Amino acid sequence: MTALKYILRDTWRLIVNHWVLGLLTLITAGVMLWILGITTLFSLNLEHLLSRLESELAVQAYLHKDSTLDIEEIAQRIQDLEYVYSIKIYSPSDSLAKLQEKMGSQSRALDILGDNPIPYNFEIHVRRAEDIDPLVDSLKAMPEVEDVVYAGMVVKRISALSRISSRVAVIMFVLAVIITALVVYNTIHISLYSRREEIAIMYLVGATRAYIATPFVLEGTLLALIGAIIAAGGIVGAYFPGMDMIQANMPLLKSSLLTDKAIIWRFCGLLAGFGATLGWVCSYLVVSRFINSITRPE
């Protein structure tokens, strides 16, 4: 307990003695973590939106009109295919009723057709847009299936957008982590370098490496944590008004956005934890390296 008091006092001294550098680190860490948080939230929203769109994507598989096979058995075989999430069977009469409903007042035109020309068909849903193509290939390979209808271009665009958004998020994440880590690393290195003689003296008069190192590690961790908390505050301040604006202007997206406050607060908590961990790891690395080099006997 006594040692902890001394260590906390020394940490405070370090922060006060290098307050300009500390402030700079805090601001940089805050800005980078804010960018990291906002990019991640943007990416999460996009993923959420895409997964909703993807879940609404359907492949329509039509059987041969004169097919005499057991419909339930074919449906089960399709259900067993790798990419299928759900399947719904439409009888010819169901399909016609659906079409009539869609056509509304123009549905009388269907009477010209005489007999119902629509065969048994299945509406098949997938989990991801990129599953559509292999599913279509599998369906086309089935002899009972006469035709497969799906929105090919939409599928490809959604799939591409999903890939790009994931890559951008990963790049932003890596960049923000590297920049924050470098800034914390350099701050602690400068702090250590400016006190290198003191550190050597401390070690010479009997201070343990842990006693010398802990205030520096705490300094780095604390700066990154405060930076992350500021970033989290900035995210909350920007995210909810931003979401309100998007929902007001694009009502279609309303149900596809992440607006649950509990999720966003939890995300901010994670960001603060991530910032503190990043600060701790960077400080620990630089302090161990530095103290090793300065205390190694020749």
Binding another protein (rule: CB under 8 A), the pick from 56, 73, 111, 298 is 298
Minimum distance of another protein from residue 211's CB (angstroms): 5
The helix or strand, by DSSP H or E, that contains position 68, with its residue range, turns out to be none
What whole-number distance in Å separates Cα of residue 167 and Cα of residue 94?
43
Which C-beta is closer to another protein: that of 169 or that of 188? 188
Q: Minimal CA–CA distance to 177: which of 20, 39, 5?
A: 39
Shortest Å distance, C-beta 288 to another protein: 12
**Mind spelling out the 3-state secondary structure of 272-293?**
HHHHHHHHHHHHHHHHHHHHHH
| Whole-number Å distance between alpha carbons of 4 and 223 | 19
Token code pair at residue 43: 């990416």
Contacting another protein (CB under 8 A), which of 85, 173, 211, 284? 211
Tokens of 294: 């300065």
User: How far, CA to CA in Å, does 73 sit from each of 19, 61, 89, 135, 274?
Assistant: 74, 15, 11, 18, 51
CA 84 to chain centre: 24
Shortest distance, CB of residue 9 to another protein, whole angstroms?
9
Give me the least distance between CB of 172 and another protein, in Å please.
41
Radius of gyration for the chain, computed over Cα atoms and rounded to the nearest angstrom: 31
Size of the site for another protein (CB under 8 A): 19
297 lies in the binding site for another protein (CB under 8 A): yes
> Is there a contact between 206 and 245 (Cβ–Cβ < 8 Å)?
no
Query: Quick one: 89 or 294, whose CB is closer to another protein?
Result: 294
DSSP state of 198: H
Binding residues for another protein restricted to 170-209, rule: CB under 8 A? 198, 201-209
Nearer to another protein, 157 or 289 (CB): 289
Distance of closest approach, residue 188 Cβ to another protein, in angstroms: 18
**76: phi > 0 → left, psi -120 to 50 → alpha, else beta; which?**
alpha
CA angle 152/153/159 to nearest 5° reads 95
The CB-of-212 to another protein minimum distance in angstroms stands at 8
Stretch 2-41 residues interacting with another protein (CB under 8 A): 2-3, 5-6, 17
- What are the E-state strand segments in the chain? 58-63, 84-90, 121-126, 145-149
5 vs 108 by CB, closer to another protein: 5
Nearer to another protein, 6 or 265 (CB): 6
Minimum distance from residue 206 beta carbon to another protein (Å): 4
Cβ at position 272, least distance to another protein in Å: 31
Applying CB under 8 A, the residues found at the interface with another protein are 2-3, 5-6, 17, 198, 201-209, 211, 295, 297-298
